[in-house]
Structure 1
């Protein structure tokens, strides 16, 4: 049971990272239509999420392999996401334009990595 849970977390992290890189890459480097679909994206959040996607894949692979540092990698991703979310919150409170879906996406990202950081040591 423990191995299956850890493998499931690692697969989820790898898929999450792959989708994050793909969607962020389209928003940053895609054609005009793809970039327009982003709406009021906040630049530093968009760049963070795109770059963090690569780290999601790396940490997911490390979880799959049972590497000890993967748990700390998950914690670092949770902390970095929390810091970016705080900056995003300040951006919103100062009247900056934003997309409500970004609030949801940041909440999902933070919850996911906090969960991995909390659960992975118990099942490793």
Structure 2
């Protein structure tokens, strides 16, 4: 059952961004986790828990994007949870760095980008499908 119309251009854009971002996240994560030795070496000092989180979250990005595109109210809540999960893992990355753990600066940049994108996606989804009811 469709719970809300899908006429908003912002929610359609957010859905598309979520799906594309999810596919790209899965592809890049799978190369770093399961690719050739050269691909894994190219990841440098990747932080394993961040790498696994990002890879697995890509599947949820796609699911949320499809849900938003189909006008499902649950997708707005899922987008918010994704943004919160990214923020939590980003905070754990910060703790890892503060404790002297090895990391790549590009990981900090990627996590910043992920958080910004998902705050925007979640905002668009919540505006289209308000969570309080």
State TM-score, norm by structure 2. Answer: 0.89
1:74 to 65, 76, 79: 79
Aligned counterpart in structure 2 of residue 63 of structure 1, from 63, 68, 71: 68
Residue 111 of structure 1, CA deviation: 1.1
Structure 2 portions without partners, runs of 5+: 1-6
Q: Does residue 38 in structure 1 map to residue 43 in structure 2?
A: yes
Are the counterparts in 1 of residues 14 and 124 from structure 2 also a CA contact under 8 Å? no
Q: Does 1:108 align with 2:118?
A: no
Question: Residue 52 of structure 1 is aligned with which of 38, 53, 57?
Answer: 57
What is the Cα deviation at residue 105 of structure 1?
0.6
Q: Which of the two has higher C-alpha Rg?
A: 2
Deviation at 1:122, TM superposition (A): 2.0
Partner in structure 2 of residue 118 of structure 1: 123
Task: Select the residue among 13, 17, 26 that pairs with 2:31.
Answer: 26
Q: Give 1 or 2: higher helix fraction.
A: 1
Deviation at residue 91 of structure 1 after TM alignment: 0.4
Superposed displacement of residue 121, structure 1: 2.4
The unaligned stretches of length 5 or more in structure 1 are none
Structure 1 runs (4+) greater than 4 angstroms displaced: none
The aligned runs of 1:85-96 (5 Å cut-off) are: 85-96=90-101
Indicate whether 1:16 and 2:52 are aligned: no
**Distance across 1 between alignment mates of 2:8 and 2:124:** 12
Structure-1-length-normalised TM-score: 0.95
**How many correspondences in the alignment?**
123
